[in-house]
């Protein structure tokens, strides 16, 4: 019987080779981490053309003569920051739009303070968003603008388009939750049972740090272990390290969420699913999705663990528009905007889609159907600064609510 022989020489050789590789990687990693790193976000030049309280409107100038008659307004979520669309040169949705000749505006919701805790859907949609849209319409002398919403900002954009169809020419929604009656995704399961009144009445605004902890717990193995193991394995690669730090800076730059917005979003949407059923009311007006008669293109990610396809793909069946399109990309919640493989399937697709609908009147135009006279540009002056109106940041603004 032959005895099993351990290839000691081969094992020792492999161990020695592994040690040499580890030593070389450690030396290179030290050089990378001690070198100057380029990790700045949002480097594309812009100017703030409108401000109301904490809310700013960024304007990005097109990089070539605009072939578009209609400007585009992007509305990001109140969670995290809109800088995700402009993470770095060469990997930027903003750059792609500007290269296509789109005149681009983007809302920066800012960082809510304690005095903003009483601001809900009505304040953000009938207040800030409507004033921003009117400002752009007035500036460009147009009746309608194009609107693009992202995640919660997409939900806001759907609500706005249903309430003000006469001001929106084309609607673009991306990873936008509209159907909350699904158990796909742990977030939907958690939100159905959370006592949101207890949370908001106790803490006021929802802390950005608490939200980040919740998002990490949705997939702790990948987001708290795998990600940092991957960093350790590639920290001798300067480009990888810079990209990693940019993403970490964006992830943990989390503003607090106004308490009333959180309360309404959870109760009205996650727990009662009113939006997709056209039962939601904002400022006393029903959000009837059948009034969304402008063209709609709806993007979502096949592997999105925060807003799964089941939460997105019913929108186009419930709107009144006859010109709709769903686009499902093989990526996750953030990958649609930052993944290199999605760069050509996302922003250029939107630019082409808008271009095709930029010339003539919008399909199924509400004004054409109803014969209603256009409201025309009627920009209201910015409301009085809430900060100036309140002697301290503890005073409620816009709406008093007992807590």
List active site positions: 151
Burial of residue 206 (number of CB atoms within 10 Å: 0-12, 13-18, 19+): buried
Rounded Cα–Cα distance for residues 312 and 54 (Å): 30
Q: What is the DSSP letter of 12?
A: H
Rounded Cα–Cα distance for residues 378 and 386 (Å): 22
Rounded Cα–Cα distance for residues 357 and 28 (Å): 52
In sequence order, the 6+-apart residues with CB closer than 8 A to the CB of 197 are: 263
DSSP-based three-state secondary structure for 100: coil
Rounded Cα–Cα distance for residues 28 and 303 (Å): 35
DSSP string over 350-400: HHHHHHHTSSSPPTT-HHHHH-PPP----PPPPPPPHHHH-SSTTS--SS-
Of the candidates 140, 139, 147, which has an alpha carbon nearest to the alpha carbon of residue 166? 147
Q: Are 342 and 336 in contact (CB under 8 A)?
A: yes
The owner of tokens 């053309």 is: 49
DSSP-based three-state secondary structure for 61: coil
Residue 44 has phi, psi (to 5 degrees) of -70, 130
Specify the DSSP element, H or E, that contains 203. helix 196-203
Q: Are 16 and 220 in contact (CB under 8 A)?
A: no
Of the candidates 368, 382, 306, which has an alpha carbon nearest to the alpha carbon of residue 154? 306
């Amino acid at each position: 019987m032959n005895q099993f022989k351990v290839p000691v020489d081969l094992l020792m050789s492999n161990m020695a080779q592994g040690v040499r590789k580890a030593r070389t990687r450690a030396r290179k990693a030290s050089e990378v981490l001690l070198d100057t790193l380029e990790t700045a976000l949002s480097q594309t030049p812009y100017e703030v053309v409108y401000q109301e309280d904490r809310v700013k409107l960024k304007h990005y100038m097109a990089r070539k003569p605009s072939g578009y008659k209609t400007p585009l307004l992007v509305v990001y979520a109140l969670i995290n920051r809109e800088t995700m669309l402009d993470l770095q040169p060469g990997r930027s949705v903003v750059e792609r739009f500007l290269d296509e000749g789109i005149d681009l505006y983007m809302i920066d919701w800012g960082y809510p303070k304690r005095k903003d805790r009483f601001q809900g859907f009505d304040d953000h949609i009938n207040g800030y968003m409507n004033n921003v849209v009117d400002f752009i319409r007035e500036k460009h002398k147009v009746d309608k603008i194009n609107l693009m919403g992202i995640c919660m900002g997409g939900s806001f954009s759907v609500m706005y388009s249903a309430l003000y169809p006469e001001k929106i020419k084309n609607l673009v929604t991306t990873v936008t939750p509209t159907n909350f009656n699904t158990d796909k995704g742990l977030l939907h399961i958690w939100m159905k049972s959370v006592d949101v009144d207890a949370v908001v009445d106790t803490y006021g605004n929802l802390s950005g740090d608490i939200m980040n902890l919740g998002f990490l717990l949705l997939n702790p193995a990948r987001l708290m272990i795998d990600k940092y193991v991957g960093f350790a394995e590639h920290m001798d690669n300067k480009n990888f390290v810079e990209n990693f730090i940019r993403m970490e800076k964006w992830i943990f730059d989390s503003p607090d969420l106004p308490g009333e917005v959180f309360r309404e979003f959870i109760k009205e949407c996650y727990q009662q699913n009113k939006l997709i059923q056209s039962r939601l009311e904002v400022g006393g007006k029903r959000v009837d999705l059948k009034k969304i008669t402008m063209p709609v293109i709806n993007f979502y990610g096949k592997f999105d663990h925060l807003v799964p396809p089941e939460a997105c793909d019913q929108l186009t069946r419930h709107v009144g528009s006859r010109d709709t399109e769903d686009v499902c990309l093989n990526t996750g919640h953030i990958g649609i905007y930052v993944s290199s493989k999605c760069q050509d399937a996302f922003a250029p697709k939107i630019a082409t889609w808008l271009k095709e609908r930029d010339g003539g009147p919008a399909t199924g135009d509400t004004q054409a159907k109803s014969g209603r006279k256009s409201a025309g540009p009627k920009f209201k002056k910015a409301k009085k600064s809430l900060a100036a109106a309140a002697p301290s940041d503890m005073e409620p603004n816009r709406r008093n609510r007992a807590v």
